[in-house]
Structure 1
């Protein structure tokens, strides 16, 4: 493998996290005070006129926050198959839980502290119910329980978790380098377009994002030379078309036009960086932001909103100072959590995954896909179980 191209994906993590933070702290905070009030539990901010021009620039015509999320999804689609190849499907899932959940719990605790400080400062009632908080500590469970969003970013983690489950269920296809893996986005698109015939399923509600992540899987197949350039073009076309169908079916045509262009630009940025990895910066700060990108992504929003709400609107400090303070706070908290929690749990996650590598053949693949089944039989079994057993 070309290690420069792997490094490009790692560097993009930092840029993606910064893009999301710019969209939220520079754009959304100033233009959507009602949203800020909902997430922080503080009184709605008095508009500071005129609106900062930069706030409009980071949200239109390309929303930097959405672009950053799109890049995160593509990175996951590209690198998760690599992790999946290192162990059994069960160890893979256990390792992902160990890698993600402790850090998320720590970051969500910080979010709760920020909400408490904001409500204490403005002398307003505590806005959250205990049930919502408990479910929110377990991403995925929150979505299934239908409780409220508290930190504004957990939904993307829940999409990631569902993608992990789908990939683990299709592990046999990945290990055989089967192109039938790209039947999954087609199945998701068909299910999304026929959602009225299904009971409410979480996996269908996030089908647009899951299908998009399979574009990243196509990059993985191309990167590892499992497919030719001509095959890649065909597969990219199929997956993108499936994404559009799922998007229109679940989210609507207007949403596709409003948000889809940011995903399209994210795909262009990712493709450009894949094609020209040497042009992607790899400096010390870029590596640092890539390393802390996960906790930074989790803690930048609500704590940043609460701090900016006090600094800019209540204390009357300059906007630039408020924005820089929010970024500094998020980076500082993320760095502490990265070194104190994320690194140790990442090492433990690696041990969970690699300890079972020698026994992965005995562990076998999930019962959903039999390695001895025919290609048609495998695809049929996979399609049934994807919608019966994943993320319901």
Structure 2
């Protein structure tokens, strides 16, 4: 199959923003504890109708994971593991570090919705590894970055081998099967690493990118179909879990319908039906998604708490979302982009330096000899006739020791 020409998918950028707004709708209108703390009243009282949709907004994370599978597979093609690592660091950490500082300052100055964290937890957050150690996050939404990181770690093995259509397909099927086995294994480490409940969404994104790049194929549609079946199963399980945990009444069929909609929309994009959509503002929207997502929960709740008595809830909701979008834009332009450029240069310099040290630090395989070879023809001590003496060869000088430099390998 012939690969499709590479182009930026503006519709995918727009879909990212939709996912982020859906998650914020959940936190601001549908998440029972958060709504009560921020608005000072129940979600049913604050948003009698809107909370019925907002309570499903957590599924925006699953949509994020599908988009991530698509984008990571697309951006990793032809890259080395080192280049992949550098791209992920420069993409994730600049905005993340800034969001930690901003959220910490806001919550410290105005701890009305969320309390202080221990300094050790805040410092640990900068490593993005707090979830693995069971420590608290500065903002609860950071848990998704841990899941993203585990996906990157798994996918890096495919990148290390060199991405091809065959290897990407094997990776997708292999991950789904291994994740299903991990769920029944009773081994917590396997379940953490293989993420049975999120693997179908990441793999669906991978399958859809392969369809976009290489065209339709029965193995790819089979991979997408298997991902869909597992995604619906885990969505049903999550809906029932949240109903019990937060005393809400979500309907599993609605969750399944929303996930089905995600698959349909991304399939339409993968098949090229949205290729004519090239609106520039969608690219900007896609760039704002990540900083908006990082900032919106604790900072957004704090802003809601401060403004909630000045206007009706729907007006305050629209105002807070607008404020968080402006904050995301400022973070992106003033901090994320400049810091990402500096970090990229530093990482590339460090990588080049390590490469040079690795090449020149190898020991020589040809040690220098300290012995001086003897003359090839020793001088005779006997008195010889002039005729005979004329036949005696002149002794050759001993050659100097030669330093043999090893060949430098790439």
TM over 0.5: yes
Instruction: Work out the CA distance in 2 between the residues paired with 1:59 and 1:340.
Output: 32
Tell me which residue corresponds to 2:132. 144
Tell me which residue corresponds to 1:35. 34
Q: Which residue among 191, 203, 206 is the counterpart of 1:217?
A: 206
User: 1:189 touches 1:245 (CA, 8 Å); kept in 2?
Assistant: no
Say whether residues 1:113 and 2:108 are aligned partners. no
Count how many residue pairs are aligned between Structure 1 and Structure 2. Answer: 340
Counterparts in 2 of 1:261 and 1:156: CA distance versus 1, 3 Å:
farther
Counterparts in 2 of 1:126 and 1:14: CA distance versus 1, 3 Å:
closer
Tell me which residue corresponds to 2:54. 59
Say whether residues 1:192 and 2:182 are aligned partners. yes
TM superposition shift of 1:350: 6.1
Counterparts in 2 of 1:85 and 1:356: CA distance versus 1, 3 Å:
farther
Instruction: Please tell me whether Structure 1 or Structure 2 has the larger radius of gyration of its CA atoms.
Output: 2
**Secondary structure, in 3 states, of the residue corresponding to 1:208?**
coil
Tell me which residue corresponds to 1:322. 316
Tell me which residue corresponds to 2:17. 14
**Secondary structure, in 3 states, of the residue corresponding to 2:135?**
coil
Give me the TM-score of the superposition, normalised by structure 1. Answer: 0.74
Tell me which residue corresponds to 2:245. none
| Stretches of structure 1 lacking an aligned partner (at least 5 in a row) | 364-392
TM superposition shift of 1:298: 0.8
Say whether residues 1:293 and 2:289 are aligned partners. yes
Counterparts in 2 of 1:48 and 1:83: CA distance versus 1, 3 Å:
closer
TM superposition shift of 1:280: 8.3
Instruction: Work out the CA distance in 2 between the residues paired with 1:296 and 1:72.
Output: 13
1:225-236 equivalences under 5 Å are 225=214, 228-236=216-224
User: 1:77 touches 1:216 (CA, 8 Å); kept in 2?
Assistant: yes
Instruction: Work out the CA distance in 2 between the residues paired with 1:233 and 1:151.
Output: 37
1:255-274 equivalences under 5 Å are 257=252, 259-274=255-270
TM superposition shift of 1:296: 0.9
Counterparts in 2 of 1:260 and 1:127: CA distance versus 1, 3 Å:
farther
Say whether residues 1:95 and 2:87 are aligned partners. yes
TM superposition shift of 1:79: 1.6
Counterparts in 2 of 1:35 and 1:176: CA distance versus 1, 3 Å:
same
| Stretches of structure 2 lacking an aligned partner (at least 5 in a row) | 243-250, 359-410
Instruction: Work out the CA distance in 1 between the residues paired with 2:205 and 2:101.
Output: 31
| Greater helix content | 1
Say whether residues 1:340 and 2:353 are aligned partners. no
Say whether residues 1:84 and 2:76 are aligned partners. yes
Give me the TM-score of the superposition, normalised by structure 2. Answer: 0.71
Tell me which residue corresponds to 1:369. none
